[in-house]
Amino acid sequence: QAQLVQSGGGVVQPGRSLRLSCEASGFIFSSHAIHWVRQAPGKGLEWVGIVWYDGTSKFYADSVKGRFTISRDNSRYTVDLQMNSLRVEDTAVYYCARDRGGDGYNPADYWGQGTLVIVSS
């Protein structure tokens, strides 16, 4: 059974950095793209970005472009979300999710449990 387990998160001051991790198991990790999706308090789901199966392509939402970076290590079955220059509006529950395929042109079928990031002074 595919599983994604997230770690990281917490409280951080505006302008600082934080790194979230997503560890996969139960499937061939190197065959699947991984998405990051967030939900701010009281708001809907917002797609944050994606890394393709081999790490060669990455795409980001305009709201995080230039500040967030997604990376993956297929040997360790992990994907990281490096968040720099954090803003109060980045406060949200962050989810990693498996793309059913390798390149983002498929639905997200397995999701991590979510991790809360609070950006506050």
Partner 1 sequence: DIVMTQSPDSLAVSLGERATITCKSSQSVLYHSNNENYLAWYQHKPGQPPKLLIYWASTRESGVPDRFSGSGSGTDFTLTINNLQAEDVAVYYCQQYYRAPNTFGQGTKLEIK
Contacting residues toward partner 1, per CB under 8 A: 35, 37, 44-47, 50, 59-62, 95, 97, 100, 104-109, 111-114
Please tell me what DSSP assigns to residue 113.
-
Q: Which is nearer to partner 1, 45 or 88 (CB)?
A: 45
Provide the 10 A C-beta neighbour count for residue 69.
Answer: 16
The residue among 29 and 95 lying less far from partner 1, judged by its C-beta, is: 95
Judged by beta carbon, residue 16 or residue 98, the one nearer partner 1 is 98
Q: Which two tokens stand for residue 30?
A: 């190197």
Find all residues with CB under 8 Å of 27, minimum gap 6, and list them: 2, 98, 110
Cβ at position 116, least distance to partner 1 in Å: 11
